[in-house]
Amino acid sequence: MTTFNKVTAAHIAALREIAGVAYVLADEENRDRYARDETEDLHYMPEVVVKPDTTEQVSQIMQLCNRELLPVTPRGGGTGLSGGALPQYGGVLISMERFNRIIQIDERNLQVTTEPGVITEVLQMAVKEKGLFYPPDPSSRGTCFIGGNIAENSGGPKAVKYGVVKDYVLNLEMVLPTGEVIWTGANVLKNATGYNLTQLVVGSEGTLGIVTKIVLRLIPAPKHDLLMLVPFRSAESACAAVSAIFRAGYVPSAMEFMERDALEWVSQYVQGSTVTIADDIQAHLLIETDGNYPEVLMQEMEGIAGVVEGFDVGEILFAESHQQKEELWKLRRRVAEAVKANSVYKEEDTVVPRAELPLLLKGVKEIGRKYGFHSVCYGHAGDGNLHVNIIRGSLTEDQWNGTLQEGIREIFRLVKQLGGTISGEHGIGLVQKNYMDIIFDETSMRLMKQIKQIFDPNHILNRGKIFDN
């Protein structure tokens, strides 16, 4: 195993030679800005921050670090929830913020070529102006980078109908830890030419290389959507309703689950919220349909309403206006923030086959009772992706950093038993890597570690993420 060197003044001078003096930050205040992401309260200080502007610069930085055995951590928008962009070993942090150009929107081929530092929402809006649609839509879309979305294989509410990031990535330009630059595939919708390096890189959490250009497929934008908020008197019934809707033949464009606490906390957190929750309501589903034909959407919404009415629901709220839709979506998007503002918490990104959601929710609550923690659950129920927020509340330090780990293991063992896995869209990063043994046996772990070794012989790139290496 490589032992890293410390960053010296000579290294900093070399980095300044490569990226320009203004883009190499070595003072404490600036470095501290890159020492956190959105994961719990973790803090790791880089020794130096570099902001390259071209693929060639990234390649030169990598060659330097590979030669000098300096740890490298790539960083996008810093919105990660598993600590993937945190410089655990110090060293060189490469911020991709200057890679912020949308290179080409190809309306003839329904593709966009972009740099990785473009904010996801900026990309979405740019293609929407051309009548096109890039569906992956993490809650952090206003600040996260498209490159980070690729690193974590992000999802978001639209994944239930449109798929996740991996379903839109056609081709990637990537700098390897050796400094070599490759394209992973071709700009085509189908490809049976060698191993799928593109899909190997998507979701690899910045451990195999630094992506410098991205080719995404786009689809025609649906022209209309409808939204409704369905209150349930039991959280498990809300989960059960989810698979019933699919079994009835409907494919909504979003189907979001929120436990009572989640919606209550966020409606207090977001100013001017008009949503009220009746006393006997335990959970909500936020259900959207989209398409080009308003009458079809209305018919589908009525059909879905018919299905959910079999599950002991309260009064369904149909969003009447664009403004009301916006409000409901704003509430959903800001749940994580509201939970964070309310208490210290740990978020588990569980995912199971969707019909197993009621068993998962029931199990999480039972495990919570056993270990003495309260949880607030919400997430992308249509995909079986439940974010379990474990609230610190009155847990002692020993409980929080000690016995709780066993509780989390129990949740993940349940997830595995239900056919699921421990991360749907947040990644493993630093915080979940000790649980990987629940999902993968030694052989699979060995294969992954050997793949890492091929791409990064000196283990300089984002070491300690996904697994120890």
Residue 275: helix, strand or coil by DSSP? Answer: coil
CB of 178 to its own copies, least distance (A): 8
Segment holding 288, helix H or strand E: strand 283-291
**Neighbour tally for 126: CB within 10 Å:** 16
d(CA 118, CA 98): 9
Helix 9-19 to helix 55-68 angle, to the nearest 10 degrees?
160
Neighbouring CB atoms inside 10 A of 454's CB total: 9
Distance CA 4, CA 149 (A): 28
Of 68 and 425, the one with the shorter C-beta distance to its own copies is 425
Closest distance of CB 1 from its own copies, Å: 18
Give whichever of 102 and 182 is closer to its own copies, judged by the CB atom: 182
Q: How far is the CB of 271 from its own copies (least distance, A)?
A: 32
**63, 336, 414 from 453: Cα distances, Å:** 16, 35, 32
- Of the pair 143, 191, the CB lying nearest its own copies is at 191
Structure tokens at 450: 């050997």
Q: Shortest CA distance to 47 belongs to which of 60, 30, 63, 23?
A: 30
CB of 404 to its own copies, least distance (A): 21
Nearer to its own copies, 30 or 299 (CB): 299
Question: Min. distance of Cβ 411 from its own copies in angstroms?
Answer: 14
Q: Cα–Cα distance between 156 and 165 in angstroms, integer?
A: 9
How many helices (H) and strands (E) would you count in the chain? 17, 18
What 8-state DSSP symbol labels residue 465?
S
Residue placing its CB nearer to its own copies in the complex, 138 or 231: 138
From the CB of 207, what's the least distance to its own copies, in Å?
8
Distance of closest approach, residue 421 Cβ to its own copies, in angstroms: 4
Closer to its own copies at the Cβ: 19 or 287? 287
Q: How many CB atoms lie within 10 A of CB 156?
A: 25
Give 437's contacts (C-beta < 8 A, 6+ positions apart): 445
Please, what is the minimum distance in Å from the beta carbon of residue 239 to its own copies?
12
Of residues 140 and 267, the one with the C-beta less far from its own copies: 140
Rounded (5°) CA angle 121-127-133:
85
Residue 38, token pair as written in the block: 């959105």
| Residue 351 Cβ vs its own copies, minimum distance, rounded to whole Å | 5
Task: Provide, rounded to whole angstroms, the least separation between the CB of residue 424 and its own copies.
Answer: 4
Ramachandran bin of 176, using left for φ above 0, alpha for ψ from -120 to 50, beta for the remaining angles: beta
> Whose Cβ is closer to its own copies: residue 72's or residue 150's?
150
**What is the spatial distance between Cα 95 and Cα 115, in angstroms, rounded to a whole number?**
13
- Residue 222 or 393: the one with the smaller Cβ distance to its own copies is 222
Q: Which two tokens stand for residue 237?
A: 């019934």
* Pairing status of strand 72-75 against strand 92-95: parallel
Question: For its own copies, which is the closer residue by CB, 317 or 355?
Answer: 355
